[in-house]
Structure formats: C-alpha cells, structure tokens
Amino acid sequence: MLKRFFLISLVLLAGTSANAQQSAETWHRYIDDSAAAMQSQVVDWRRHFHAHPELSNREFDTAETIADFLRSLDMEITTGVAHTGVVGVLHGALDGPVVGLRADMDALPVPSRVDLPFSPDVSSEYLGEEVPVSHACGHDAHMAMLMGVAKMLADRREHLPGTVKFIFQPAEEGTPPGEEGGAEMMVAEGVLSDPDVDVIFGQHIWAPAPAGQIGYRPAGTMAASDRFVITVHGKQTHGSTPWTGVDPITTAAQLVLGLNTIVSRQTELTRAAAVISVGRIRAGVRNNIIPEEAELIGTIRTLDPAMREKIHADIRRTAEHIAASQGAEVSVDIQLGYPVTYNDPGLTEAMAPSLQRVAGDKAVRIDALTAAEDFSYFQREVPGLYFFLGAAPRDIPRDEVAPHHTPDFRIEESAMQTGVRALASLAIDYMLGHHD
C-alpha cells in the first residue's frame, strides 16, 4: 500500500513539474515573439519621449502619455505619485506574488547635438535659467521598454500567475532645490503597498557596453552618493604677516591631502570601492588678504553601508584634527544622498538564469559603478535586482561612444528588444517560481 502511494506521489510530482516546465516554455516563447512583434512600437514610443523631454518633477506631458496608455490596457491607475509619477497595477487571473517593475521618466538640462529626425528642440527653466533639455541618459528608452512589457503582460493576463506594479518614477536625476520627489517620495507615499510588492526589478540602458549585453552583479552595484561641505574657520589678517592670523587656505590644502588618505590608507578597498573627491574650494577676495574662512565642497561614493558610515566618521575626525593642528576650527556638514544600489544576493542568484536565457553569453557579471541611482530606495524596502542593458551604437567605434549626460549621447535602439524580454522574463519567472 505504501509503495503504491509512493509511486502515485511520484507520478503527481512529475506531472506538476512537467506542467510548470511547459508553462515556463510557453511564457518564454510568448515573451520572445511579442518583444519582436512590438519592437517598432517600442522604438516609436522612445522617439516620442526623446523628442519631448521634461525635467525632474516637471514630467507633466510624459505622465499623461503614460497614464493614457496604461488606461487603454484596462489597469488600475494612480497618477500624481511623488508629484508626477504614474503607477499601473495589473492583476493576473491566477494567484501569485506581486512584482514591481520600474522605469524613470525625467530628462536632463543638457543640449542635444545628435542630429536625428526626433532630436529635441526643447528648453525649460532650471535653477532660474532657461536651458536646453534632452534625454541624455536613456530614461526615454526605459519608459518605452516598460510600456512594452505592460502591453505584453496585459494581453495575456488570463494566464498571469500574480500581480505586476508598473512604476513610472519622476525625478531620478534629483529634485530641484527645496523640493521633494523621486523614489524616496514614492516609497513614503506607499508605492510598495496595497498590494504589497514582494520584489522589484529595474534596468538602465548603458551606452558604453555592447548592444544587447546584460550586466549584473549581486550586492553593491551602484554607489551611495553623499555631498559634504567643510568650512574652515581661521583668523583674517594681512597677507604680509600670516603669523598674526590663522590661515584657512593652507588648512584647506592640508585637508584635501588628508581626505585622500582616508581612501588610500584607511579603507579596506578589497571589500568594496570608495571615492572621496573635493570638487570645489572657495576662499578669499584678493591677493594680499588671508581670509577668515575657506570652504571645501565634494562628493563621497561608497558601495557598502557599513563603509559609508565609517568614511563619514573618518572625514569628521580628519577635518577636526587637521584644523586643530593649524589653530583653526572646522564645521563638517555631510548631506546624505542616494543609498547604495544593493542587489539582494539571493534574488540575484535566483534570477541570473532568466537573464542568461535572454542574453546568452552576453549576460555577464560586471564590476560595480560609482555612479548613483535612487532605485536604491525601493531596494531598502523589498528585495530588488537592478541590471544594465548595453546599447552602444553599432555605427560608432566603441572608444568613441559618448558617455551618459553629454550632448552627444546616443543609443542603439535595437537593444531595447533585449530589455523588454529581460524585464518581462524576470517578472514571469519569479511569479512561476512563487505562485500558489
């Protein structure tokens, strides 16, 4: 009797496993075929956004375009999230987890020198000045690819084993002074709740990498980005008699050297990289006056939360002790920016086969980047995976491809088909592995 029960159990288990495998294969064929069929539409969407860029927290027309599109797919829509964000919720017919997919929406105050039929001719106010605006970082492609995934999954919702939240996020490039926004504000307003998101996936198109390559890594992937302002308080005096005052400029010069040794001599760089850079020194008004104050402004980039705290403490200690050695005083203001973009190691390992299925040998593990991304705010709340999609134009030598945030930035649009497949595959494969 027990033997018969055991054999029946094995047969049922084998049948369940076979059905799951068949379901995955069916979904993968559907994703690949749909991505190919809608590639021209995804390109059109991207070109529309590229021709009509809008700055952070000002993505009004962009948000309206996205909201209208999601409504046409019969989704639950919420607009005005973190000012201009749009969230669409797609409920599948089958029970399963809730997966978040995110794309950023904002453009940059950067002119476009790329002479294409859809190149922008747009200007807007930025920091009180009228400036040219363009999608010089690829957020136009991010929105278009996520729209493609939304249509693909909505068209097969009767087989969807869970729920997908499509998160179109404003102000990734940073909010205007005095304003809130971006991923941090979306999280505060509850974008990851009702229904509660279990995991979240995002991607960034990456012009320096070969078109169609997918780059990913577990743990720290992009850096925390913090700003510091160090003010040295000295004693003003005549430049001909420096001994009658306290020189904040020479103190500031020693501070620059001292800050550099925090990374080169006091930080365990075999664990994670770190950067401290002074980008501005401001002091004095003329050649023969030793001023009362000097100001150093810079950036801190770290890839490990514990290292981030340590370096902040080291900067304060170094500044205070060097200032004291010169008879000066110092005030240190460290302004927290985006946290570390931290890919959950377990989730990354579990989803790596999905990326490898999509990109084959072009799915590669990459080194961390010291750029920053506010996708990190989502990852602080739920497990997340953020990856890079190579999009180097095929008609330009690789060493001549313009970097992001520059007027000559350009991407290979054919790479977006890989991005659509990757995002859709991550969502479906996670659902198939975790649905009821």
286-321 tens-digit pLDDT: 999 999 999 999 999 999 999 999 999 999 999 999
Res. 209: pLDDT tops 50: yes
Residue 165 main-chain phi, psi, to 5 deg: -105, 120
74-99 tens-digit pLDDT: 999 999 999 999 999 999 999 999 99
Q: Which whole-number Å values give the CA distances from 210 to 75, 146, 222, 321, in the listed order?
A: 35, 21, 19, 47
- Please identify, among 302, 335, 368, the residue that sits at the C-terminal boundary of a domain: 335
Res. 14: pLDDT tops 70: no
Question: Would residue 4 count as lying in a domain?
Answer: no
Q: Are 163 and 434 in contact (CB under 8 A)?
A: no
Res. 322: pLDDT tops 90: yes
Across 22-38, average pLDDT: 96
Closest among 234, 246, 278 to 259, alpha carbons compared:
278
Question: Would residue 387 count as lying in a domain?
Answer: yes
Q: Are residues 284 and 330 in the same domain?
A: yes
List 106, 226, 247, 344, catalytic entry: 106
- Please identify, among 282, 304, 335, the residue that sits at the C-terminal boundary of a domain: 335
- Which residues have a Cβ under 8 Å from the Cβ of 67 and sit 6 or more positions away? 77, 79, 86
Q: Are residues 64 and 187 in the same domain?
A: yes
Res. 3: pLDDT tops 60: no
| The residue to which tokens 């020693």 are assigned | 254
Question: Would residue 365 count as lying in a domain?
Answer: yes
Q: Which residues pair with 225 in a beta bridge?
A: 301
Q: Residue 20's pLDDT is what? A: 67
Across 334-345, average pLDDT: 96
Q: Are residues 252 and 274 in the same domain?
A: yes
Band the pLDDT of 5: cuts 50, 70, 90.
very low
- Please identify, among 335, 366, 382, the residue that sits at the C-terminal boundary of a domain: 335
Band the pLDDT of 10: cuts 50, 70, 90.
very low
Q: Residue 6's pLDDT is what? A: 47
Band the pLDDT of 190: cuts 50, 70, 90.
very high
Q: How far apart are CA 29 and CA 366, in angstroms?
A: 28
| Percentage of the chain exceeding pLDDT 70 | 95
Q: Is 130 exposed, middle or buried (0-12, 13-18, 19+ CB in 10 A)?
A: exposed
Q: Are 379 and 218 in contact (CB under 8 A)?
A: no
List 54, 59, 104, 172, catalytic entry: 172
The answer to whether 172 is a known catalytic residue is: yes
Q: Residue 21's pLDDT is what? A: 74
> How many folded domains does the chain comprise?
2
Say what angle helices 345-359 and 416-434 make with each other, to 10 degrees: 130
User: CA 162, 189, 57: angle at the middle one, nearest 5?
Assistant: 105
Q: Residue 354's pLDDT is what? A: 98
236-273 tens-digit pLDDT: 999 999 999 999 999 999 999 999 999 999 999 998 88
Q: Are residues 213 and 318 in the same domain?
A: no
Q: Are residues 298 and 328 in the same domain?
A: yes
Q: Are residues 113 and 250 in the same domain?
A: no
Q: Which whole-number Å values give the CA distances from 436 to 89, 364, 391, in the listed order?
A: 19, 32, 37
Across 15-19, average pLDDT: 55
What DSSP state is assigned to residue 434? Answer: H
Across 196-200, average pLDDT: 98
Q: How far apart are CA 165 and CA 200, in angstroms?
A: 9
Q: How far apart are CA 162 and CA 96, in angstroms?
A: 4
DSSP H helices in 220-273: 248-266
The domain that holds 143 is classified in CATH as 3.40.630.10
Across 112-128, average pLDDT: 95
Predicted model pTM: 0.90
Domain coverage including residue 321:
224-335
Q: Are residues 102 and 191 in the same domain?
A: yes
Sign of the four-CA dihedral 322, 323, 324, 330: negative
Band the pLDDT of 1: cuts 50, 70, 90.
low
Note the maximum CA span of the chain.
104
Amino acid at 302: T
Structure tokens at 111: 């002119």
Q: Are residues 170 and 41 in the same domain?
A: yes
Question: Would residue 348 count as lying in a domain?
Answer: yes
